[in-house]
Structure 1
Amino acid sequence: MGIPSTSCLVIHINWPKHNELGRIPDACLEEAAGLALAIGLEISAKRIVKLRKPSPKTLLGIGSVTELSAEISQYLNQTQKFVVIIISNLNPVQQQNLERTWNCKVIDRTGLILEIFAARAKTREGILQVQLASLTYQRSRLVRSWTHLERQRGGLQFIGGPGETQIESDRRLLSARIRKIERKIKGISRTRKLHRGARKNIPSLIVALVGYTNAGKSTLFNRLTGASVSSSNQLFATLDPTMRKVQLPSKQSVILSDTVGFVSDLPHELINSFHATLEEVKEADIILHIRDAAHPSSDAQYNDVLRVLKELRVEKKPTIEIFNKIDLLENKMILFNRVKRSDGAALAISAKTGEGCENILKMISKQFMFNETKFIYDIPITNGAAVAWLYDRGTVSVYKNKRHSIQLTVNWDEIDAAQFEKKFGNFEAKLTH
């Protein structure tokens, strides 16, 4: 006989601000259920609870708590492995009071996302980041609730005098573990910085894929690079950043970076803990913002991602808006017209079927072309390596044979020009306007 799965009741709190932000309650409830399914929970029921003002003791009003108590008691009679998931952030007192009232485990939104991240993390960095976020979260959960949290005796116990409380002891131990993990993550961050420094010696620009979780970033990443990154239809299927080099139609090489998906009201513990991972977004030259065009709350998800990008201070970077999953739309023309009217760079595609994907690399090329300048080089005919390098890294628009040299007009940016000069010397490049 297999191990029985844990059943759960998923409760989505519908705040008034959600309607103002364009979040559809039913879509939010389905996202909440997706979060529960992502860690293998069996959903017994899903509920939407409207709430205007939070209760300091239980978050939910007394009427909702009482009504849900009867329903939860029925589930507890059927199974011993049952948990209530509340898609909102609970403070420690609220969580404790609900657990006492309902006589079962209660997990809030941050705790649930941490569980998913812990199940998804594969690399050493990802595991450390989840541990850091989890310990930070646990430290905030320390509340006085049991008798063993009374003051411990100091020293050898038979010596008088009060010692530290169990809470203080637990907080001190957690803080020590947090500092230890932070040091390890800083070491990994330094290694990443060295890798980025090494990449800067090779003139490959970076394109970061960002977007709401399950928007199809990894599917698109695989299609553009030929990689096999996990792209299952799950929330937070990708945690650890993956990078691959691809060649643009202009023959310029760029590095594509697949990043962790964002979610509405992303907990600060996660933003802070995954700072090292999100640094790849901060280092990007262009951002591809992948959107789920078929999702009923697509615009709200867009704003949620934009808020995180603002926190990272990268919202002003050149961005291409990618409307994905057009294969799920009944009327694509509405979206196509919207894309045509867009003020910024935008495309409508299906990463699953490939429709429109051929235009992505072309648009990236155009974005980089905006920053390019024409340089004229006189290369000695004996320096074939420099000529080959120019053809490989830039776009050669004019080629002229001279008596002792080859004159090439190359389109690229000033970073490429500086890299070339550092490697081969100054060949009296003349800047033209």
Structure 2
Amino acid sequence: MTPHPLVDTPLTPTLLVGVDFGLPHFDNQLEELGLLAQTAGLSPVARVTCKRRAPDAALFVGSGKADEIKMLATQMGVQEILFDQSLSPAQQRNLERHLELPVNDRTLLILEIFGQRARSHEGKLQVELARLQYLSTRLVRRWSHLERQSGGIGMRGGPGESQIELDRRMIGDSIKRIKERLTKVKRQRQTQRRQRDRRDAFNISLVGYTNAGKSTLFNALVKARAYAADQLFATLDTTTRQLYLGELGCSVSLSDTVGFIRDLPHGLIDAFQATLQEAVDADLLLHVVDYSSPDHLEQIAQVQRVLAEIGAADIPQVLVFNKLDRVSDQAQPVSMADTFDLSGTPTPRVFISAQNAIGVPALRQLLVEKVQSMQPMHSPNTYFPSSHEADE
């Protein structure tokens, strides 16, 4: 087994591990896991991949491969092991005992990134809920103080109640409080949506794989200043602005939502239901695709799976193949607008570079045509913004 150097930074040296179970989306180079690790502030110094028919019940990779990982980690001075798949609490605990190093999985890594990036009150609540739900199953992982008993007169929890039971109950109480607060936030969002519905606004949501360029396109369309960067999960909080379509003499509502990713933790999907509701309630989805990515077809499929999971699979879509400026001459499209077979449905597609504004006017024209064809229930002159409001 030969280590593969990835980066050389003073951050936490991390060893990446991926197991190929024969699934079509397996990342042999662990490139996405490496990007996620760097986004979270880790420094991947080596990677290990192996093939198995099924996960080992105790150590996920088996005892022999675990010994190899331990030897390599010692040679490379690794301080943390990171798996590209989700580990069960027992597998994580057994691996940490065997490797004598902290072991984490893809799920916790994504939760950590979301925790670092959440800015709004709602986003922070959603991340904290998902994190607590994840940790509630791992209280026996490596904290020895949880094995001590507490009890007696004046002690919380009654005689003989273990510290782990106290902690589990405290986490349960926190989860309940956060869910109540998120319910209130969801009601506020529903009120905002009803206000938009009362003025008969046409709602468009940007969706797509993380780092596909949604926020850059959002800024290009509505002249906003939403944070955009060439990194995974640059935007977590939903932002909504009015997009003025001069040909129709009215505005539509445009929302920028959180990006999707392969194996997005189910806890995050549940916790971000209030944010993802913007996509569920949309009249039209702009599905932004990183055309320069060699895995863009698989990323489209992953987004479609998440949309189906949140109940947005039947909403009409427009495919926006972005980052045209990063594509080789051989991969340049014959036509800047055509149709794409999306789950058996011919779907309008347009090629653009949001960064360089290439193809953006054609996208706006396509939106005008879609709104006209889909808006029998909406009056085209319902909402007339001022010129200043249209730009912002």
Task: Give the TM bin, normalised by the shorter chain.
Answer: 0.7 to 0.9
Matched, 1:315 2:313: yes
Aligned-partner Cα distance in 2 for 1:220–1:196? 23
**Any idea what the Cα deviations from partners look like across 1:41-80, whole Å, max 9, x if unmatched?**
122112323232111111112221111111111233xx7x
CA contact (8 A) 1:208 1:280 kept: yes
CA contact (8 A) 1:151 1:164 kept: no
Matched, 1:9 2:9: no
Shift of 1:149: 4.4
Q: Secondary structure at the match of 1:16?
A: coil
Q: Percent sequence identity over matched residues?
A: 39
Q: Which residue of 1 aligns with 2:63?
A: 62
Q: Give the alignment's TM-score, normalised by structure 1.
A: 0.79
Shift of 1:364: 1.2
Q: Which residue of 2 aligns with 1:88?
A: 85
Q: Give the alignment's TM-score, normalised by structure 2.
A: 0.87
CA contact (8 A) 1:245 1:253 kept: yes
Structure 1 residues 204, 154: CA separation in 2 closer, same or farther (over 3 Å shift)?
Answer: same
1:317-396 map, 5 Å: 317-331=315-329, 335-336=333-334, 340=338, 342=340, 343-372=346-375
Shift of 1:333: 5.7
Q: Secondary structure at the match of 1:232?
A: coil
Structure 1 residues 418, 350: CA separation in 2 closer, same or farther (over 3 Å shift)?
Answer: closer
Aligned-partner Cα distance in 2 for 1:316–1:146? 46
Shift of 1:418: 12
Structure 1 residues 185, 341: CA separation in 2 closer, same or farther (over 3 Å shift)?
Answer: closer
Structure 1 residues 362, 143: CA separation in 2 closer, same or farther (over 3 Å shift)?
Answer: same
Q: Secondary structure at the match of 2:126?
A: helix
Shift of 1:197: 1.3
Query: Of 259, 262, 265, which residue of structure 1 is paired with 2:260?
Result: 262
Larger radius of gyration: 1
Matched, 1:51 2:49: no
Aligned length: 367
Stretches of structure 1 that go unaligned for 5 or more consecutive residues are 373-412, 421-433
Structure 1 residues 144, 157: CA separation in 2 closer, same or farther (over 3 Å shift)?
Answer: farther
Structure 1 residues 369, 269: CA separation in 2 closer, same or farther (over 3 Å shift)?
Answer: same
Structure 1 residues 190, 152: CA separation in 2 closer, same or farther (over 3 Å shift)?
Answer: same
Aligned-partner Cα distance in 2 for 1:341–1:178? 45
Q: Which residue of 2 aligns with 1:238?
A: 235
Matched, 1:416 2:382: no
Q: Secondary structure at the match of 2:338?
A: helix
Aligned-partner Cα distance in 2 for 1:414–1:188? 28
1:101-120 map, 5 Å: 101-120=98-117
Aligned-partner Cα distance in 1 for 2:98–2:269? 32
RMSD, matched Cα: 2.4
**Any idea what the Cα deviations from partners look like across 1:261-286, whole Å, max 9, x if unmatched?**
00011111100111110011111110
CA contact (8 A) 2:89 2:141 kept: no
Structure 1 residues 238, 417: CA separation in 2 closer, same or farther (over 3 Å shift)?
Answer: closer
Aligned-partner Cα distance in 2 for 1:417–1:234? 38
Query: Of 277, 280, 302, which residue of structure 2 is paired with 1:279?
Result: 277
Aligned-partner Cα distance in 1 for 2:166–2:229? 42
CA contact (8 A) 1:321 1:346 kept: yes
Q: With CA pairs under 8 Å and 6+ residues apart, which has the higher RCO, 1 or 2?
A: 2
The residue type equivalent to 2:96 in the other structure is E
**Any idea what the Cα deviations from partners look like across 1:214-243, whole Å, max 9, x if unmatched?**
111111111111112111111000000111
**Any idea what the Cα deviations from partners look like across 1:302-347, whole Å, max 9, x if unmatched?**
1110001001111111100111111111136664459635322111
Shift of 1:291: 0.6
Aligned-partner Cα distance in 2 for 1:231–1:303? 24
Aligned-partner Cα distance in 1 for 2:232–2:22? 25
Structure 1 residues 146, 113: CA separation in 2 closer, same or farther (over 3 Å shift)?
Answer: closer
Shift of 1:144: 7.1
Shift of 1:246: 1.2
Shift of 1:38: 0.4
**Any idea what the Cα deviations from partners look like across 1:107-132, whole Å, max 9, x if unmatched?**
10110001100110111111111100
Aligned-partner Cα distance in 2 for 1:271–1:336? 37
**Any idea what the Cα deviations from partners look like across 1:395-432, whole Å, max 9, x if unmatched?**
xxxxxxxxxxxxxxxxxx33438979xxxxxxxxxxxx
Structure 1 residues 418, 224: CA separation in 2 closer, same or farther (over 3 Å shift)?
Answer: closer
CA contact (8 A) 1:214 1:233 kept: yes
CA contact (8 A) 1:24 1:296 kept: no
Structure 1 residues 332, 63: CA separation in 2 closer, same or farther (over 3 Å shift)?
Answer: same
Aligned-partner Cα distance in 1 for 2:293–2:100? 36
Aligned-partner Cα distance in 1 for 2:328–2:143? 57
Q: Which residue of 2 aligns with 1:423?
A: none
The 10-residue stretch of structure 1 (232-241 or 100-109) with the greater mean CA deviation from structure 2:
100-109
Aligned-partner Cα distance in 1 for 2:55–2:213? 35
